[in-house]
Structure 1
Amino acid sequence: MSIKIPRGTKDILPEDSAKWQYIEKTAADICRNYQYEEIRTPIFESSELFLRGVGDTTDIVQKEMYVFEDQGGRSLALRPEGTASVVRSFVENKMFGAANQPVKLYYTGPMFRYERPQAGRYRQFVQFGIEALGSEDPAIDAEVISIAMEIYRQLGLKELKLVINTLGDNESRKAHREALIAHFEPRIGEFCSDCQNRLEKNPLRILDCKKDRDHELMKTAPSILDFLNEESKNYFDKVQKYLGEMEISFEVDPTLVRGLDYYNHTAFEIMSSAEGFGAITTLCGGGRYNGLVEMIGGPATPGIGFAFSIERLLAALEAEAVELPVQTELDCYIVTMGEEAKDHSVKLLHKLRQAGLSAERDYLDRKIKTQFKSADRMNAKLVAVLGEDELKENKINLKDMSTGEQQQVDLDVFVEEVKKYRA
């Protein structure tokens, strides 16, 4: 019996990995321009971290986490998202005492959720995300949103829709919470068991329910915008003002609820409006979480961030027919004739690679014609042909594959000649 890949996972084959590398580098370069630094956290953490940080009323914790017990009897979980791990590291390593504040971090890596696999959604998926910890300035909210939009813009996406909302401060949320309970409680029996459990614990999560989203009470549910106190309203107004000054288009959607318990104030999602992208249009989600650091044992510290799936980003690029400018060309392919020439090519190949050039040769003792075909398949800019006669004369033949022009050069200056074509 053959062993196959687990359901909900995917191999990233060599022809695709170059796209992943390009996306990750583009996102990292943009983050560094904004003074965000990379952080890397473990793939598994104490399951208690996610119970506290993500929230025990969320689908992620209740239904989707991969939890296991290690040999020491400790309950561990494969991370289902990145924020809780970053905040844990922020607290444990006392980054709140760093000289430069706010602390700006970015990360990339695999996450794990046991959910029904479908197009663009996997049980192991890769997230890129950022977190800014230590500032309550609404300008940071706008900055975080602008980074996500800039990453998508530089990668070539155009069919995007930014949707924002505010969940308000604690006072506003409390008033909204009470209104939601009063609204749903008389008919909560008509809702799914998850919504019934959330009524008292976190009624805001009812608005995010996929099963009951068409229920008539959903359409008439109280809006958070009607319960904002002056401070929360002013905060949200400033976020909108800053986005406007950045010329970033957005829509306000008072029904937008992020799926994690730790959000307050700004919440946002970026969606693909590309034709044929699919039913699940969300590409990126994020928001502010001013109480999360305390929940994980740190001092009162405001924070905001976002995360997006690279798999879904690739699907959006495909829907818009965007071709990433990944480098697939080979600088030089060495074709050899004869045993001595083949032996000498090992040294030449090494010199080319040491000079920072991409280079390859044949390892299967194939005929000249087949070696040239291999060079073609690898999109070689140059083919260097070395035979016994050329080796005796300390020469090598160079062929420019784009023009067909050929020249003979000394082996002593071979690497320098190849470099000229790189420029």
Structure 2
Amino acid sequence: MAKEAGNYQLVKKLNRISTLNIIRQHKSISRKQLARELGLTPTAITGIIRDLMAAGYVMEKGLGKSSGGRRPVNLHFIPDSGYVIGAEITKSKTTLGVVNLDAKPLVINRCNIDMAEPRRGLEQLAGEVKKMIKENHLEEIRILGMGIACSGLVDIVTKVVKRSPNLGGKWRDIPIETWLQEMLGINIFVENNSNAAALAEYTFGRGKETRNMAYINLGEGISAGIILDGTLAYGYKGYTGEIGHLVIDENGPLCNCGNNGCLESLYAVPALVRKANNELALYSGKDPLKTIWREKGSVTIEDIITFAGDADSYAGKLVRQAAWQIGKGVAAIINLCNPEAVFVGGILATAGDSLLEPLAKSMQKYAFPELAREVRLELSTMQKDTGFYGGCAVAIRALFDGGAEALLDV
């Protein structure tokens, strides 16, 4: 009897999640339509809707079309019924914020957190989360989970970060979910940053309903998130998309991964900044970036992007050179996965057409022509914040897939 009772409660919870998800997707739907889509009786739907309304997730608003008899009352999902926290962590900076269940941001903060020591960095992140909740007067009961987007190899089963060269040498076998759940007492969901960003682009961005697409992340590293037939492509352990570690120059600089001449070691943001600062010291011509270098002693990626629009400037040439080489990696993805669209994001994507135009030409040159002609290449609408929204998307997906008691127990 106890087992039967347990099974009944589980089915009841799953029916609530399924019902809530359909209401969220439809924006407006009647009880009769819900019963038909879910294959449940009108009595069962009435009970589920009563529970969801009592919990504040659903409201009645407006009347639908009559199919004979009285017009049905429409049901609407309430996005502000709950919130999720999202975070993208990099070696020295973390983007952290809160969104509602439609991913509308309430607050986005940028924190300088040194992640070289994993435990210490995550403790500081937990402190920033608590501070953000307090300063924005958020009801903790309405915070349903937190999604983390981080670079590196995230095991698809355990969600342990097996290795993250861009976060530092000590990032091996780090159980982010377990540690942060202990520190914060909320549901934590971790995902590789490019996979998370691809999910955000597919769910909220220009890639909505684009069932075969790739997202290219151009930040501290270079990597890709790939969606095939509407589902993230994980591969065997979840380590797909590491295009930054395509070797393009065997005699090139040592990469964080241990190889020489990887695309990432030459054209990721840290590599471009290093290259600019080294070369500008020897650069004799007049150039706006050289002027900044003289005044400050060094330049940042923001400085490079500021002047990238001038094709004849040092910054313009540097960004175009990077775009051409990155286009070779994008071409490899097109040849392997045949996506209908490729979206480019990360801080380097804020260079706009200065990056996109040469990248497109390179992609067209190196990809199989019949495949390349069919691909839409676009900048991400979220650009440098796609990873943050990716963390949010990961948490929202987990909640509505039934992965968190916060929603199951409504």
Q: TM-score normalized by structure 2?
A: 0.26
Larger helix share, 1 or 2: 2
Structure whose alpha-carbon radius of gyration is higher: 1
Q: TM-score normalized by structure 1?
A: 0.26
